[in-house]
Each structure stands twice: as structure tokens, then as C-alpha cells.
Amino acid sequence: MSRLTTRAPAKINLTLHVLGRRPEDGYHVLESLVAFAEVADGLTLDPGPDLTLSVAGPTAGPAGPLDDNLVLRAARHLAAGSPGLRLGAFHLHKELPVAAGIGGGSSDAAAALRLLAELNGLTLDHPAVVAAARATGADVPVCLDPRARMMRGAGEAVGPALGFEALPAVLVNPGVPVSTAPVFKALGLAVGQALDGAEHPAVAATLDAEGVLAAIRPARNDLEPPALTVAPIIGSALALLRAQGGCRLARMSGSGATVFALFSDRQAAEAAADAVRKAQPGWWVEATRLA
């Protein structure tokens, strides 16, 4: 079989409610509406006898040592659970900012599992594929089939694809890496503790873009306040997006520091992205659509 190719899109948490911290493993129980952007890393697999990885692209360095790369970790988990699995040489083109709340590494891991599943004739809901995704990271299951859906539990429970109308958006990362664990820690929840914030709104599959916006507006990202204490520059990024004409909603994704803003149309999003780039030439800024 010749080279297999896929894209690993940025994951955006349109909402992220923390319900508490579970006793089994101290992980936080979440309820999050997740969508995916057009901007992505690229992953290829050349089938062969050995599992290898090469990485290039603007954020290859910050992604860390090859041997720890989530692409290899996911592949090793799948190989361990699937004797005789066909493997090969992965090449990752790394575009997405790292430690950014957009799950770049998780999306790369999920992309690796997609390519190995394709090579080996496995479906994405095959128990070995699902187990490998869960073992690799909390965000990997939702990235396996990257379409907007609800994510629950610590990330292991993913709902059906919602298929809603794509939302014109701008993504902004202010250039400060933010690790996930310290942000959860800064929430200050004790193991076993529950939170009783307002319930997550229902998001129906049939909603148009206005409907999605209306549904998520009263929701929140509970990691935003603790992330702001870890990286106050997130506040500046949010303020800059909120000052742009046509900005309907601006919020942080995941544990930050990437923030997103929603617009009514692509033109308004492009204009806002241009203005943010002018104001902050060192920041990562992308006009995109989320679905």
C-alpha cells in the first residue's frame, strides 16, 4: 500500500464546564462542546516494517523529543493491543502552536490512529482503537473523528457528531505556552469535590450558526479564570478580539492560552484577523471556520 495522508485539525472547546474531580484518578469531570478548525498539522504514513517518526514545520521544535511524541505514543498503544499490527514511517508537519489549549498533540495522536486503522482495516470504533486513544490522552478520543460533538467524563465519553453549520471564527495564541496540569491545579478542587455551576445548555444537531451561538453564549469555559492567573496575557488577547467589529463572542479554548472569537461571516473574521495581526505581529492568528 502506498503513502496514507490525513490532517490533524486544531480542537476548539466552544464551552468547557468542570463538574468536579473524580475520586478514581483525580481527573476533572468535564462537559465540553468541541469543534474543529480548518487549520491543521499534516500527517503521512508510509507502510513498512518499523515504527518511525520524523517531524518538520514551524512548531516541530516546541513539540519536544521525537520519542515522546504523541504520534508514537498512540501507535505504541495500538500496537500493544493489536498483535501483528501493520506499522510504518510517520511524517508529521507541525503547524499548530504547542501547549496551546487546541489539542495539537492529541489531534496528531488521533490522526496516527486513523492512519493505522486505515492501513489495518480497523474501524474508528474498534475497541483496540478506542482503548489506544483513551490510553494516549484525555483529549484523544474526541479527536479520532474530528467533527463537532459533546465530550464528557474526563474526555473518554464522546457524543454523536452534531453536523452543525460551520462558524466563522478567529483563533489567537499570544505566544505563551501553557501546560494543562497547572491550570487544572489552579482551579483548586479537592479530589471527590463537585462543583454546581449552571447546567450546560443543550446543543441540537439541527442548529444553524445563529442557533449554536445562542446555545453556547450562556455557557462558559471554567478553566478561563485559573488560566488567567497562570498567563495574564490571555486577558489581553480576549480584550483585543472583543474590540474587533462584528465579534459576537470571545472565549478561551481548553486550558489556554489560545482564544477564539466568533463572527457572522468569513469577511468579518478575515478583517478582524488582519487587525489583530497588525496590533500584535508576534502572535499566531488564524481566520477559520469551526465545525
Ligand X SMILES: C[C@@](CO)(OP(=O)(O)O)[C@H](O)COP(=O)(O)OP(=O)(O)OC[C@H]1O[C@@H](n2ccc(N)nc2=O)[C@H](O)[C@@H]1O
Ligand Y SMILES: Nc1ncnc2c1ncn2[C@@H]1O[C@H](COP(=O)(O)OP(=O)(O)O)[C@@H](O)[C@H]1O
Residue 153, all three cell numbers: 467524563
Instruction: Give Cα separations from 3 to 95, 133, 210, 263, 271 (angstroms).
Output: 20, 22, 40, 38, 38
Q: Is 11 a catalytic residue?
A: yes
The listed partner (ligand Y, ligand X, none) that binds 222, CB under 5 to 8 Å by sort, is none
Residue 175, all three cell numbers: 505566544
The listed partner (ligand Y, ligand X, none) that binds 70, CB under 5 to 8 Å by sort, is ligand Y
Among 254, 259, 269, 291, contact with ligand Y (rule: CB under 6 A): 254
Q: Quick check: 139 binds ligand X (CB under 6 A)?
A: yes
Site string for ligand Y, 82-121 (x = CB under 6 A): ----------------xxxxxxxxx-x-------------
Helical axes 70-81 vs 127-136, angle rounded to 10°:
140
- Beta strands 52-56 and 87-93 are parallel
Is 97 labelled as part of a ligand binding site?
yes
Q: Quick check: 180 binds ligand X (CB under 6 A)?
A: yes
What's the rounded Cα separation, in Å, for the pair 111 and 113? Answer: 5
User: Which residues fall within 8 angstroms of residue 19, CB to CB, at 6 or more apart?
Assistant: 28, 29, 30, 31, 194, 195
Which residues are paired to 229 by β-bridges?
none
Number of residues that bind ligand X (CB under 6 A): 20
The listed partner (ligand X, ligand Y, none) that binds 64, CB under 5 to 8 Å by sort, is ligand Y
Among 154, 209, 230, 272, contact with ligand X (rule: CB under 6 A): 154
What's the rounded Cα separation, in Å, for the pair 140 and 137? Answer: 5
What's the rounded Cα separation, in Å, for the pair 91 and 112? Answer: 10
Measured from the CB atom, the residue of 32 and 255 that comes closer to ligand Y is 255
Is 103 labelled as part of a ligand binding site?
yes
Residue 280 is which amino acid? Q
For ligand X, which stretch binds (CB under 6 A), given 90-98, 136-144, 167-175, 201-209?
Answer: 136-144
Among 146, 155, 174, 226, contact with ligand X (rule: CB under 6 A): 155
Single out the catalytic residue among 11, 41, 108, 222: 11
Instruction: Give Cα separations from 215 to 15, 149, 211, 212, 241 (angstroms).
Output: 10, 14, 6, 5, 20
Single out the catalytic residue among 41, 94, 108, 139: 139
For ligand X, which stretch binds (CB under 6 A), given 24-32, 49-57, 195-203, 279-287?
Answer: 24-32
Helices (H) and strands (E) in the chain, counts: 9, 11
Q: Is 94 a catalytic residue?
A: no
Count of other CB atoms within 10 angstroms of residue 55: 20
Site string for ligand Y, 32-71 (x = CB under 6 A): -------------------------------xx---xxxx
User: Which residues fall within 8 angstroms of residue 169, CB to CB, at 6 or more apart?
Assistant: 12, 37, 260, 261, 262, 263, 269, 287, 288, 289, 290
For ligand X, which stretch binds (CB under 6 A), given 132-140, 198-206, 209-217, 263-271?
Answer: 132-140
The residues carrying an active-site annotation are: 11, 139
Residues that bind ligand X (CB under 6 A): 13, 16, 27-28, 30, 32, 101-103, 106, 137-139, 154-155, 180-181, 184, 254-255
**Binding site per annotation, positions for ATP:** 97-107
Residues that bind ligand Y (CB under 6 A): 63-64, 68-71, 98-106, 108, 180, 254-255
